[in-house]
Chains A and B, each alone.
Chain A
Amino acid sequence: MKPTFWGIFLLAIFILRTVKMQAQGPPIYTGTPILLGLDGGGIRTFGKYISKENATAHVQPIAIPYNFTAKLQVGTIVPFVRKSPDGLGANSGLGDVVAFAKYLLFQKDGSGKTFRVMARVKETFPTAKKDEMPALGSGAYQTDVGLVGGYVSTKIGLYGEVGYNFTSDNLPDNLIYNLAVGLPLLPQQYPPKQLNVFLEFTGNHVTSQKQNTLFIAPGIQAILGRRLLFESGIQLPLTQDVPDGQKTNFIFLLGTRVLIF
């Protein structure tokens, strides 16, 4: 019997809940509605090694968020991209630059727990070279509007994200959906010294072509003090409705977040 998405997710929660743990850090792939600490006023960078059927790619984005208030965050993501198709020469350079804004819509705090919902808008600008092969960007403007929700207690963190990406130049729009559960391996303390584990699901549904891609993404994260975080994860495909030759084998991520403000 093929395991379903919800089956795996619920099983993961059950397994993780049986281990006695405390609070955790921000998820690795899924957004967080908590715009504090290392997810606000810091620099985040991560290297992504993407292995596809007939190509490999390395993406190194640098994200710089800035919190105007505890509820409003703006920022930019500048990616460096290197693509190496099999049998062709590699191409590298600046990818499509992203500007984003996040606003906290709802916040309900309790003792040692919080539930928050945030709205986000991301605008992707076609700044990458698109005339050379392989193209480094989409060549189109993209507007992503979404909601991110999260419940974080002293025992578990659950995060969900849904967004719709509107594209220009007749490219297909897509629905983005992510889920994450996270738990720490070490007792909570402040200043933080944490080792956290995550299990995430990252999905992308191309609406016009009814193509669905879903990855399972286990990850680990180390928070070493107030200002420094290291994280790593791997995305493995569960479902890929894409043309032959374009399928993804895996995506490996290694990253860091440094709080500067």
Chain B
Amino acid sequence: MKKILFLTTVMAFLAIAGLNAQTSSNASEDQRVSVKVDGLACPFCAYGLEKKIKDIEGSKEVKIDLKSGLLTFQMQKGKAISEETIRNKVKDAGFTPREISFSETSLKTKENE
């Protein structure tokens, strides 16, 4: 009896976990990428950074906030990007990349919150 109860609990847990994962995946259309960039001291020189990020296939909604030194953009669903690629793009643009974070929450959803 104890065995049945244990197996039922494990199965129920796995089923819920799987359901959650599926829901999360369905909810996010795009992946949001945030990069802290050092050296962003002048608006006129940020154009090169915007261009480099726009060159990445699947990137969109590129935004640069000079006040916080934050670069944000979205990757289309199904288009993956590595942290190394992002770092290289920022360096090629003449800046220093710091923390990079990926979020499944789309920018539109975030803005609506």
Q: A residues near B, CB below 8 A?
A: 23-26, 34-41, 69-71, 107, 109-114, 152-154, 157, 188-192, 194, 223, 226-227, 229, 259
In the complex the two chains form, what is the Cα distance from A39 to B94 in whole Å? Answer: 13
Q: B residues near A, CB below 8 A?
A: 36, 38-48, 50, 64-67, 69, 91-96
Smallest CB-CB separation from A153: which chain B residue?
B41
Known: A37-B46, A70-B91, A109-B96. A190 touches B41 (CB 8 A): no
In the complex the two chains form, what is the Cα distance from A69 to B40 in whole Å? Answer: 18
Residues of A within 8 A of B92 (CB): 69-70
In the complex the two chains form, what is the Cα distance from A226 to B47 in whole Å? Answer: 6
In the complex the two chains form, what is the Cα distance from A24 to B30 in whole Å? Answer: 35
* Cβ-neighbour of B42 out of A107, A111, A157 (below 8 A): A157
Cβ of A190 and Cβ of B69 under 8 Å apart? no
Residues of A within 8 A of B40 (CB): 112
* Cβ-neighbour of B67 out of A24, A107, A188 (below 8 A): A188
Cβ of A192 and Cβ of B39 under 8 Å apart? no
Cβ of B66 and Cβ of A109 under 8 Å apart? no
Cβ of A26 and Cβ of B96 under 8 Å apart? no
Residues of B within 8 A of A107 (CB): 39, 96
Cβ of B66 and Cβ of A189 under 8 Å apart? yes
In the complex the two chains form, what is the Cα distance from A109 to B94 in whole Å? Answer: 10
Known: A37-B47, A70-B92. A23 touches B42 (CB 8 A): yes
Cβ of A154 and Cβ of B43 under 8 Å apart? no
Known: A70-B92, A189-B66. A37 touches B45 (CB 8 A): yes
Cβ of B48 and Cβ of A192 under 8 Å apart? no
In the complex the two chains form, what is the Cα distance from A153 to B41 in whole Å? Answer: 5
* Cβ-neighbour of B39 out of A25, A39, A41, A110 (below 8 A): A110
Cβ of B43 and Cβ of A191 under 8 Å apart? yes
Cβ of A154 and Cβ of B44 under 8 Å apart? no
Residues of B within 8 A of A153 (CB): 41
Known: A36-B94, A70-B92. A259 touches B47 (CB 8 A): yes
* Cβ-neighbour of A227 out of B39, B47, B67 (below 8 A): B47
Residues of A within 8 A of B48 (CB): 36-37, 40-41, 70
Having A35-B94, A70-B91, A190-B64, one finds 4 other A-B pairs with CB under 8 Å, namely A39-B45, A71-B94, A109-B96, A190-B50
In the complex the two chains form, what is the Cα distance from A190 to B51 in whole Å? Answer: 13
Cβ of B45 and Cβ of A190 under 8 Å apart? no
Name 14 interchain pairs, CB-CB below 8 A, sorted by A: A23-B42, A23-B43, A24-B42, A36-B44, A37-B46, A110-B38, A112-B67, A154-B66, A188-B43, A190-B50, A192-B44, A223-B44, A226-B44, A227-B47
Cβ of A23 and Cβ of B94 under 8 Å apart? no
* Cβ-neighbour of A223 out of B43, B64, B66, B93 (below 8 A): B43
